[in-house]
Each structure stands twice: as C-alpha cells, then as structure tokens.
Amino acid sequence: MGKMRGSEAIIQCLLEEGVKTIFGFPGGAVIDLYDDLLDSEVNHVLVRHEQGAVHAADGLARVTGDVGVALLTSGPGATNGVTAIATAYLDSIPIVILTGQVPTPLIGNDAFQEVDIVGITRPCTKHNYLVSKAEDLVPTIREAFHIAKTGRPGPVLIDLPKDVVATMVEFSEKKPVRMQNYQPTYEPHMGQVEKACKEIVKAKQPVLYVGGGVILSNASDELTELAKKLNIPVTMTLMGLGAFPGSDDLSMGMLGMHGSYTANMAVAKSDVLIAVGARFDDRVTGRIDAFAPHAKIIHIDIDPTSISKNVKVDIPIVADCKHSLTAMNQWLDNCGENLDDLCKSHTPWIETVADWTAKHPMAYIDEGETIKPQYVVEKLDELTQGDAIITTEVGQNQMWAAQFYKFNKPRRLVTSGGLGTMGYGLPAAIGAKMAFPDATVIDVAGDGSIQMNIQELATAKQYGVNVIVCILNNNYLGMVRQWQELFYDKRYAATVMEVTPDFCALAEAYGAVGIRATKTSEVEDVIKQALEAVKTSTVILDFRIAREEGVFPMVPAGKATTEMLLV
C-alpha cells in the first residue's frame, strides 16, 4: 500500500475500521493529525471540553455497537478525558482514544503539556499503548480496535508522540488481528450449557437477571426467546434495560437499590437465577448473603473475572451471551421435554409475581399542580411511544428515567451505570444523535449534573445536532439530599444549589430554545412543543419539580434487597 505520513496512516486505519465521525479537541501535540484530518473523509466534531469528546464517542458506541473514537491532545487534553475513559471502562463500552504526546526525545523530561497518560489510564482502560516506534503505528491501531470491540469490550488508549505521527511509515495490508495472548472465549462449553438447562427445566421459580452484556453482544432476541419459551420473568440491571421489552408482561423492570418491589422479591424467592451478562454489582445485590439465598445461580459472562467475584456461582458459563443463549435455546428445543407443560408449570410463579406488582407497582404520589418528575418521564415515554434514545445524567434523574421510561428495545438507554458520571448525558446525547440523525434524543438531566458539561450546547449548535435536554430541576443535588434526608437527619450539607442559572436564558445564549414548566398541567404541552422545536434546534426544558421528591423503592446501603423503603 506504500509509504505515507504517520498521521495519514492513522486516518487510513480509521477509515479501514469504518469510522465516520470522531470527537476531539486540538492542541500542539496533535496539530499534524488535525492538518491531515481537514482533507480526509473522517468527520471531526469539535467539542468544548475533552471529557465531552470521550463521552460523545462513548454515546455513539452505545447506540450503534460500533467503536467510538476520540482525539485529544497531550497533557491536560488527555487528563481531561480520564473521567470519561473510566466511565466507558466501567460500562464495558468499546472506544479508542487517540492522545497526542510530546516528541519521543522529550518524553520523561517534564516537557510542555507532557503527562504520562499511559500510566494514568492503566487501571481504567482495557489496554493502552505508547507508540514509540513509527513502524509499530499501524499494527498498534489495528490491534487497539480489535481489543476494544472483542471479548468484554472496553476503552483502549493510544498515545501518539508528535514525531512518530510525522514520520513516514509503511501502510501494510490489513490482515485479521491474531494475538497469542488475547483470545476471548465466545463459544460456551456444551457440558455447562446442558447442566444449566437441566437446572432451568427443573426450576419452579426461575428468574432471568439480565445485564449490559446482553446488549453488548446483541443478544436481545435470543434472550427474549428463552424467556418466552419457558415463561420466565425477567429483571434487568440499569445497563440491561431494553435487552428485554419493558412493556412485556414478563418484564419486572429493574432490580437492586432502586429496583421494583417485584424484581427484588422475585430474585429473593427464586430457586434458579439465570444471570446473563450481569456482574452482581453491589447496587444490585444489596447485602450479599441475603441475595437470592435459595437459588441455584447460573452465570453467563464472557469475562471469567466476573464469575464468583461477588456471589458464589453454581454453574458458570464463560462465553458470549448471544452464543450461550442460542445454545441454550437449541438444547431446550431438542431436550424432549414438553415446553408448553413447562411454561404452564410456571403459572403459579408468574401469578405470585403479578400479585407483587399489583400490591406494589412503580408509583408516586400525585400532588396536583406540583410537577412530579416521574410524571414528566411517563409523559416523555407516552409522547415518544417509548422509542426515543434516552441519555441521562446521574442521580435521581437517572433513576426516574430508568424506572418510568419503558425501554422496549436495546441501545435506547444511554447512561453511566458503573462509574456514575455526572455530566455524561449531554455529550452522550450528541454522540447518539450524530449516529442516528433521525432519532429523537432526550437527555434526562438534573439541575446539578447538567452544569458539569453544559458547554457542549455550543457543540450541538455548531453541528446542528438537535437534542432535548429535559432538566428535572429541584435546586438540589437530589440523590445525595435524599440520603441526607433519610440517613443524616436532614442535614443538607452542600446539596442545596443556592445559585442555579436561568436555564431558559442560558439556552438562548447558546442559540437553543428554552421552555419552562412550573405546573403539572403544562408538562404535556411543553413536551409536545419540545418535540416540534427539536426539529430545528436544541431544546432545554426546565421542569420545576417537587423539590424534595425521592426515588423509591429504595434499598438502604448494606440492607437486603427485600428491605425496601416504598413510596
């Protein structure tokens, strides 16, 4: 393929991977790369803060399943990206981060804008590289993409010294990447599949506990098939929402700290718990010895370190979720059991589950004209037919979105689950909208979180990426305030936002549309206006909600998940 400048080779590698859009912020160390980008087919989106670039790449990756790419300069450019890299790492999102670095002779000399970003990001990337020789450049980028998207996906960072990028390199023909030391297991062990299926067939009170792994491996159809085949109720983690249709009768919604009463009760009473692409996070399990105490636990995960890390697993299956569920469905179809009879045998269990929901549905108390945030989310769901892409910030807004929006399809909820990064939602919405320009993209936000990356409104304006930012404004850092109310004697230390900007005026300052609602009767109309206005502009909705509304159910930290505080 011939010789070319390192920077051109990088762009060729991106095109080879099918990358159309990257997000970044320039600086001295990456100026050569930017110079070549100007003439390339790769579309570059200039963000206003590097954290926004990486979150946007992450948002794009979550809605498409492709690898997102961010380009940052050395030093502060790279360190500004770290929070967003850790966000992607905790949620296993495939992204590649290209960072500029000072020229190789200066590395280690405390040069201007030099920082050891490979050292800094070692614990929050799946892998990272410093390309110290020009001949390693092309193979490294190809390997990085391979690692980011295979196995348990994750962020991979490549640090690019300025002189390496400026050197002429050989652009070799692409061959499939083969690594002696990295070969994720995709195919399940059939003996384990059989063991698991036999356990499932015997179960009287089975529960499917589904995490983000099902979405990452595009296994929603296979999962839905399994649930329907045997009439097994399904609960999802925050990351798993949408893997199974939220409006389906078998869906129990989310489990864990702010999960539904039904989901937490069902897990506690289950005799077989089938965990698929989930990792038994503390927000899901609550007090660990009280989690699914009567259940045989089957755990499907491509990452062996997830197995028996927090909860002892009876039947592990280390493999890709899609491959494993396919194998299980096939085994069940051919096992000679009458599947209809098996379905029927679960009827008493399904009835018990329905009773729990009837007794304690997801609910909130209507307070007349005082806007309830849950009502806003319900209206969003209704007016978008549950088919919008919802990004969230972090805190109460995130939980209300998770609880009251019915995610019927995978890759519709884009949220920082593991790290819980405030300021995630707006840049992620921009990334998502870039990937699907025709989709309705709504960032469900709080007045605290939105201010952490609000500068990205300028990015949205510059590129005509029109999203709706739906601020559930209570003038509090609401989730922490809720903990203070419940467990700290209402001592609201540092959670009162005494000064909050006028979000409508702020929207206008950024060339967006701002609409405020202060009464329940205005909510529906305001959302309709927003859905119309977003066709030509980004919209900020400022909902003045019930100030001290809490997120319920709630399992206090360290309690069993059956010890819920209800509405």
Shortest spacing between CB 407 and another protein, in angstroms? 30
Indicate if 113 belongs to the active site. yes
Whose structure tokens read 């005494």? 498
Is position 228 an interface residue for another protein (rule: CB under 8 A)?
A: no
- Using CB under 8 A, which residues numbered 246 to 305 contact another protein? 303-305
* 3-class state of residue 442 by DSSP: strand
Residues 304-333 that bind another protein (CB under 8 A): 304-305, 307-309
Looking at residue 106, what DSSP letter applies?
Answer: G
Prior bond of 553 cis (ω within 30°) = yes
CB of 467 to another protein, least distance (A): 36
Three-state SS letters, 312-349: CCCEEEECCHHHHHHHHHHHHHCCCCCHHHHHHHCHHH
Choose the catalytic residue: 16, 113, 522, 529: 113
Strands (E) located in 206-335: 206-210, 234-236, 251-254, 272-276, 296-301, 315-318
Annotated catalytic, 479? yes
Give the x-and-dash track for 135-174 against another protein (CB under 8 A): ------------x---------------------------
Per CB under 8 A, the segment of 33-41, 117-125, 242-250, 454-462 that binds another protein is 117-125
Q: Look up residue 173 and give its DSSP letter.
A: P
- Tell me the residue type at 24: G
Task: Write down the least CB distance from residue 128 to another protein, Å.
Answer: 9
> Interface with another protein includes 109 (CB under 8 A)?
no
385 is catalytic: no
User: Smallest gap, in angstroms, from Cβ of residue 127 to another protein?
Assistant: 4
Q: Which of 277, 255, 274 is nearest to 265 (CA)?
A: 255
Asked if residue 198 binds another protein (CB under 8 A), the reply is no
Listed ranges 60-68, 175-183, 281-289, 426-434: which one lies at the site for another protein (CB under 8 A) = 175-183
> Catalytic: 559?
no
Instruction: Using the minimum distance from each CB to another protein, give the nearer residue, 117 or 376.
Output: 117
| Catalytic option among 162, 269, 372, 433 | 162
Catalytic residue among 257, 479, 554, 564: 479
Spot the catalytic one: 1, 3, 112, 133. Answer: 112
Nearest distance in Å: CB 504, another protein: 44
HEC secondary structure over 24-68:
ECCCHHHHHHHHHHCCCCCEEEECCCHHHHHHHHHHHHHHHCCCE
The CA-atom distances, in angstroms, between 131 and each of 157, 162, 440 are: 11, 10, 40
CA separation, residue 246 to residues 4, 124, 345 (Å): 51, 32, 24
436 catalytic residue (yes or no): no
Out of 20, 76, 107, 127, the residue judged to bind another protein by CB under 8 A: 127
For residue 122, state whether it binds another protein (rule: CB under 8 A). Answer: yes
Residue 464 interacting with another protein (CB under 8 A): no
Buried/exposed code over 43-66 (b: 16+ C-beta within 10 A; e: otherwise): ebbebbbbbbbbbbbbbbbbbbbb
- CA dist., res. 65 & res. 56, Å (int): 14
How far is 318 from 126, CA to CA, in rounded Å?
18
* Interface with another protein, residue 182, by CB under 8 A: yes
Q: Shortest Cβ distance from residue 405 to another protein (Å)?
A: 34
Residue from the set 118, 166, 350, 383 that interacts with another protein by CB under 8 A: 118
Nearer to another protein, 147 or 238 (CB): 147
State the residues that interact with another protein by CB under 8 A: 118-119, 122-123, 126-127, 130, 147, 179-182, 303-305, 307-309
Q: So which residues are the catalytic ones? A: 50, 112-113, 162, 479
